[in-house]
Structure 1
Amino acid sequence: MFGIGMPELIIIMVIALIVIGPHKLPELAKSLGKGLAEFKRASEDFQRNIQEEARKSEEKVEPHQEAVTPPAEPEHVATAAAAPAEHAAGEKKDAPHA
């Protein structure tokens, strides 16, 4: 854990006991434990919110991807585009041969 071995941990505890005092050390440890528990709870809540938002954004993207197919051209547009070619072909058939 954090690269701290048993000898280092004992030294840190002895220094904390000297600096803080034997009466305040249990209170400090209790406060530290509550703080770490609150931090853990907040980080889990944050991760859960991020995952939920990612899931919601994926759900929004998936239906949109299905609707991306281009719409078919309306018949009047396709007919209007083909009409000049048919008309030109019709003129050639009706034209008298000289």
Structure 2
Amino acid sequence: MNVYFLFIGGPEIFVIMLIVVMVFGADKIPDIARGLGKGIRQVKDATNDIKREINDSSKEHGLDNSIGKDIKKEIDSVKENIDDLTGPIKRQL
């Protein structure tokens, strides 16, 4: 059984890692990883800030979060209906 990560298998990942070590050197890899980690963290913090601003803005203007819950409930209902419809088709394949 092959394990794939982003449609890349184990041998391909090994070759990519080998090339990264050859190009950047073993001593630079921790710095690169640290920089990537900081970048990912900044993106995550920015998305959390945006979510918080939206929630705060909706509370200031008297909007209720129940609208979002109702929309989610409807989406889940549609997903269940699709699963009920496609269930027999999936089983036949």
TM-score scaled by length of structure 1: 0.48
Distance 2:17 2:41 in 1: 21
Decide which of 31, 36, 40 is 1:32's aligned counterpart: 36
Ranked by relative contact order (alpha carbons within 8 Å, sequence separation 6 or more), the top structure is 1
Q: 1:46 corresponds to which residue?
A: 50
How many residues of Structure 1 are paired with residues of Structure 2 in the alignment?
Answer: 60
Q: What is the CA-CA distance between 1:11 and the residue it aligns to? A: 2.9
Structure 1: runs of 5+ lacking an equivalent? 61-98
Percent identity of paired positions between Structure 1 and Structure 2: 36
The CA RMSD measured in Å over matched residues stands at 2.4
Structure 2: runs of 5+ lacking an equivalent? 64-93
Distance 1:55 1:8 in 2: 49
Decide which of 7, 15, 19 is 1:15's aligned counterpart: 19
Distance 1:56 1:3 in 2: 45
Distance 2:13 2:34 in 1: 18
Q: Bigger radius of gyration, 1 or 2?
A: 1
TM-score scaled by length of structure 2: 0.50
